Amino acid sequence: MATLHRSRFNGVRSWLVLFAPGALGACGEPPDEARGEGGGQLSITLGAVTQGVESSDDDGAVPTGDGSVFDVAAEGGGQASVGDGATGCKKVDFLFVIDNSSSMSEEQDALIASFPGFIQTIQSTLTDAQDHHIMVTDTDAAWGGDCSLLCGFFGGFCPSIPDYPCATGAPSVCDATLGAGVTYPIGSHATNHRCNFATGARYMDSSEPDLSGAFQCAARVGSDGESDEMAMSAMVGALSEDLGAPGSCNEGFVRDDAILVVTIITDEEDKGSTGTPEGWYANIVASKKGDASAVVMLGLVNDVDQPAPSCSAQVEDAVKLRSFVEMFPNHTRGSVCAPSFNSFFEDAVALIDQTCDEFVPAG
């Protein structure tokens, strides 16, 4: 079982294929959504990642034997003084950053299984905060894997993934943008159809008729992603002003008068993202107008730093990710290798509830 924190921060497939001119066009017509020129892999260029602020001395992590690391609770984590003095949140924005590399299918299943209980507990506990935005992003900008090329060569069939929807055509710009909300997970172990949220946006809200079903559609991001995961770049991009601008992929997701709950699910260290933990922290806090206490950071990462880890010892210790998560006044960390995430999310609700109660909306 994970424990809450309040601490102070002062497998590769190879194909050799010769394509005849026009062969790729056999995949069928693309959807009506806007798409990038050439139908190739697209990505955004994130703004400069700031170095942030320096971390304080170690707060004294206390290791336990259950696959998690717990900080000694620190009083007075700090809260920005903004708004008109009224406290308490009415809105919560949930961002899930899900690793879609080849080792993550079981972890995605565990997340999907835990979501209904998590959101039901949120709804019954945060009685004054029933307005939720929920968005999923994965950890690379690729879309379609090998099948996006092989469908045309093999006459509308992908030999490695027989149920791959070859007729879907080229991706939209947002489908292939790092940090954009996922609405069409495609590839091995993926949903392989468009999610069509009731919002018409790239995120769900609390009015979604089948919220658990919609989340399952988005969260099954598959296992065809790049092995050099970029969880932090995806997270920073998802919350950036560029992707949140009018007409952009994530328009309307982040709200100034909502608390932000970020959940990171990955079994590897982040070696693909640019920047540093301090810079990533600074960018996330900037998305909340400088109020770090308006963020709840939940990390489901590997636990090889623990005396009795659940994850394989061959996995690289997620030093940077762990450091990043623990910078936030409101955070908790659990093992991504746990057979179930139920207890992790059950405990996280109490932290989210406390953060919501103490929130001072920007005025």
Q: Which two tokens stand for residue 32?
A: 């009506």
| pLDDT tens-place string over residues 345-363 | 999 999 999 999 999 987 6
At 151-165, the pLDDT tens digits run: 888 989 999 888 899
**Hey, what amino acid is at 147?**
C
213 and 193 Cβ atoms separated by less than 8 Å: no
**Higher confidence at residue 243 or residue 82?**
243
Query: Which tokens hold the place of 43?
Result: 């990505």
Contact between 186 and 138 under an 8 Å Cβ cutoff? The reply is no
- One-letter amino acid at 165 equals P
Strand locations in the chain (E)? 5-6, 61-63, 69-71, 91-98, 131-138, 204-205, 259-265, 295-301, 330-335
CATH 3.40.50.410 assigned to domain 62-73+86-143+176-358? The reply is: yes
Lowest mean pLDDT among 77-86, 133-142, 293-302, 341-350: 77-86
What pLDDT is recorded for position 363? 63
Asked whether residue 46 carries a pLDDT value surpassing 60, the answer given is: no
Q: Parse the chain into domains and list their residue ranges.
A: 62-73+86-143+176-358
What are the angstrom distances between the C-alpha of 62 and each of 71, 258, 301? 6, 32, 17
Burial class (CB in 10 A: 0-12, 13-18, 19+), 351: buried
The residue with greater pLDDT, 23 or 96, is 96
What is the reported pTM?
Answer: 0.79
For 100-113, what is the mean pLDDT?
92
Residue type, 191: T
Task: Report the alpha-carbon angle 79-81-82, nearest 5.
Answer: 125
Q: Which residue carries 């509830």 as its tokens?
A: 353
Helix (H, G, I), strand (E, B) or coil at 332: strand
